[in-house]
Amino acid sequence: MSTLLSEQSRSEIDTWIAKYPPEQKQSAVMGALGIVQEANGGYLTTELMDAVAEYLEMAPIAVYEVATFYSMYELKPVGKHKICVCTNVSCMLCGSDDIVAHLKQKLNIGFGETSADKKFTLKEVECLGACGGAPMMQIGKTYYENLTSEKIDEILAKLA
């Protein structure tokens, strides 16, 4: 068994595995990738994905497919704070273009980039399910809704 997965990570993955029938342990792949990503400072490496595949007894390619399909997984280092901005239809109709322009100008980065000080990574994402609070963004596990440039400045100041 791979030594890349800490005892803590394996224990957390086992909690996910227990939610599925024994012959379906591969169903825990999304939870496992999230645990491993968080333990690795916010991103996955090929070696870590291989370790997840081995632990869940599945083909590495199947793990890569999940990690590259879903936007919550990162395959390269990210800043301390990953800012996920929804640009789907509800947010777009409510001004997400202005929010994106403000963030890009304020942080001096584009989508998929990390600020020079490594504090922020900016990511465009599809619907995050908070259409009633559009425009919105997610930082960590926190949703920020009904955004304005002023609200963004306040949020970023608290994170800096």
Q: What is the mean pLDDT of each run of 10 residues along the chain (160 residues)?
A: 86 98 96 97 97 98 96 93 95 96 97 96 93 95 96 94
Q: CA-to-CA distance for 20 and 13, rounded, in angstroms?
A: 12
| Cα atoms found within 13 Å of the Cα of residue 93, Cβ hemisphere only | 6
Structure-token match 């086992």, residue found: 14
Residue 105: per-residue pLDDT: 97
Residue 156: per-residue pLDDT: 96
Neighbours of 128 (CB within 10 A): 19
Residue 28: per-residue pLDDT: 98
Residue 62: per-residue pLDDT: 98
Residue 2: per-residue pLDDT: 62
Residue 71: per-residue pLDDT: 86
Q: CA-to-CA distance for 102 and 96, rounded, in angstroms?
A: 10
Residue 3: per-residue pLDDT: 79
Element (DSSP H or E) covering residue 17: helix 7-17
List of E strands, the chain: 81-86, 113-114, 120-125, 137-139, 142-144
Q: CA-to-CA distance for 131 and 90, rounded, in angstroms?
A: 6
Q: CA-to-CA distance for 122 and 114, rounded, in angstroms?
A: 7
Q: CA-to-CA distance for 7 and 148, rounded, in angstroms?
A: 43
Residue 1: per-residue pLDDT: 53
Q: CA-to-CA distance for 135 and 96, rounded, in angstroms?
A: 5
List of E strands, 91-160: 113-114, 120-125, 137-139, 142-144
List of E strands, 56-119: 81-86, 113-114
